[in-house]
Amino acid sequence: MVEVGEKAPDFELLDTELKPRKLSEFLGKRIVVLLTFPAAFSSVCTKELCTFRDRMSILNSANAEVIAISVDSPFALKAFKDANRLNFTLLSDFNKEVITKYGVVHENLLGLKGVAKRSAFIIAPDGTVLYKWVSDDPLVEPPYDEIIKLVNEFNKKYLG
């Protein structure tokens, strides 16, 4: 599992437009909030990503880039993004490589093998993991206020 203080493993995944995207392309000038979530269109995941959507102006003002990853196909993620008017990048980890690298895999969730745990990582512009939150319970949402507070603090420290 990726730990605070380590370099975040780089990766390349398809976005909702079938464009390959790397973590490294988002780093450099911004703080990255990297989310993993179990399944598009599930109730808790929809609530979580819509909460981040609704707080994007705060995150943008703190120079944060939000990236959300699930093992859903890019086609399902595009429909999910469009249906919920999500204003950040969604990436498909269909082959489960990133969730494995980051150590956020549910081995068996309701009979589904290898879906993402709900997690949030805050990554510095140099790629260092500054914060990690992972839940084994898919019904537990991330601590939104804590993440936003830390993003603002890290923005001042690293980019201010």
pLDDT in tens, 31-66: 999 999 999 999 999 999 999 999 999 999 999 999
Residue 159 pLDDT grade (very low, low, confident, very high; cuts 50, 70, 90): confident
Cβ proximity of 102 and 133 under 8 Å: no
- The answer to whether the Cα torsion of 130, 136, 138, 139 is positive or negative is negative
Catalytic residue check, 45? yes
What's the rounded Cα separation, in Å, for the pair 78 and 39? 13
Q: What is the pLDDT of residue 77?
A: 98
Name the strand (E) or helix (H) holding 91. strand 89-92
Find the catalytic residue in 45, 49, 99, 124. 45
What confidence category does residue 109 fall into, taking pLDDT thresholds of 50, 70 and 90?
Answer: confident
Q: What is the reported pLDDT for 1?
A: 85
Residue 74 has pLDDT above 80, yes or no: yes
pTM score > 0.75 for this model?
Answer: yes
